[in-house]
Amino acid sequence: MIMTAVMVMVSMTLTTAVMILTSLLSKKNIEDREKSSPFECGFDPKSSARLPFSLRFFLIAVIFLIFDVEIALLLPMTIVMTTSNMESWMMISSIFLLILIIGLYHEWNQGSLEWAS
């Protein structure tokens, strides 16, 4: 038991030492304005290269991803239908579709599905 505790302490100490050593050696101390600015063919940029990202676009992309996963979960339901009990399949499928419809209604009600507002 003591040997295990000693091995854990040694491995934690070595891990911490390596992490501290790598963080100290990898830091860049010199901040150069030219290196941190965006590059446009050697000229000064006309406008800021860091444009704000559209939060509306991100929300639509996340909703699309969620519905894509839901479709991937709905497609196997037709294959499983032939090998399972029809009553339990209908109940599980109905509950799953009801949850999806409630979620869609909530997103629609909140205005998340409207692109331009």
Record the pTM. 0.49
pLDDT tens digits for 10-25? 999 999 999 999 888 8
Is 103 a residue whose pLDDT tops 90? no
Complete DSSP assignment for 33-85 = HHHHSPPBTTBPPSS-S-PPPPHHHHHHHHHHHHHHHHHHHHHHHHHHHTTS-
